[in-house]
Amino acid sequence: MEFTAPPVTGRVFSHEHPNLLSDCDPSGRLRLDGIARILHDAATLDNEGSPAPDKGLWILRRLVIELDEWPRYLDTVLTRTWCSGIGRAWAERRSDLYRHGHRIAQAKALWVNVAPETGFPRSLPEGFLEVFGPSAAGRTIKPRFELPVPDDEPMAHGELPLRYSDLDIVDHVNNAVHLALVEELLAPKGRGIASAVPQYQSIVIEFHEALQTPDPAVYSMWHDDQSTMIRLAQVTPIASVTRLAKVRSLPMTDQLG
């Protein structure tokens, strides 16, 4: 699999986001959770601003981010985003991130439309195919998880506290917070030391079950010279799995939007 190029026809939404203090680390680098929020915001604004009569209730299942450069404090990131694939109750959203007119990252996200009463997948919302379908150009996708979970003894494990402020409007720990916890696990051990996160160019996170407060998240971590795997859990064996790699896992598209 690779990143699809921007569509020739169909809806493409653009959104500008200034990187300010709350999303950057002490070195001025935009954190992983900050990138996730940029992508979430662009997706939400695109969906809510569309003419589709039913906006649906979308839950993120997988997010893939491949970076050429890390955004910095006070950079304005332009996000161009579109629907790049469709399934029975889910859709893929592609996004390109630009700084000063230069593309610095690509992302793709798998979102599942769920019923508010049960949280189970339901058919795509009314009007979705008419509004977002043309940019997918007939491409179909499947919602399966792809990251392997190591079954050997982790190199590190423990607990991370969760806060009420980590919850979102569907009353579970927000997806971006999962990546904030990844940042926490890779944070430097002393002031003035750089984080380990910027060495990675590829980030994949898959969401299995929701994290809930007030119980802490339980983490397990594996790493080698090229990658780090982090599993977060709580009541069930897996809440999310994240893989960070020092080289990009997917080919970047050559075409710029």
pLDDT of residue 249: 77
Kindly tell me if the per-residue pLDDT of 92 is higher than 90: yes
Model pLDDT for residues 171-191, shown as the tens digit of each residue: 999 999 999 999 999 998 888
pLDDT band of 253, cuts 50, 70, 90: confident
Report the topology of domain 8-144.
Thiol Ester Dehydrase; Chain A (3.10.129)
pLDDT of residue 198: 94
pLDDT band of 254, cuts 50, 70, 90: low
Kindly tell me if the per-residue pLDDT of 117 is higher than 90: no
For 57-68, b where at least 16 C-beta lie within 10 A, e where not — what string? ebbbbbbbbbbe
Superfamily of domain 145-250: Hotdog Thioesterase (3.10.129.10)
Domains 8-144 and 145-250 equal at CATH topology level: yes
pLDDT of residue 64: 97
107-118 average pLDDT score? 94
Kindly tell me if the per-residue pLDDT of 1 is higher than 70: no
Kindly tell me if the per-residue pLDDT of 195 is higher than 60: yes
Kindly tell me if the per-residue pLDDT of 255 is higher than 90: no
Q: Whole-structure pTM over 0.85, yes or no?
A: yes
Q: What percent of the chain has pLDDT over 70?
A: 98
pLDDT of residue 257: 52
pLDDT of residue 151: 84
151-157 average pLDDT score? 93
Model pLDDT for residues 8-27, shown as the tens digit of each residue: 999 999 999 999 999 999 99
Domain boundaries, the chain: 8-144, 145-250
77-91 average pLDDT score? 97
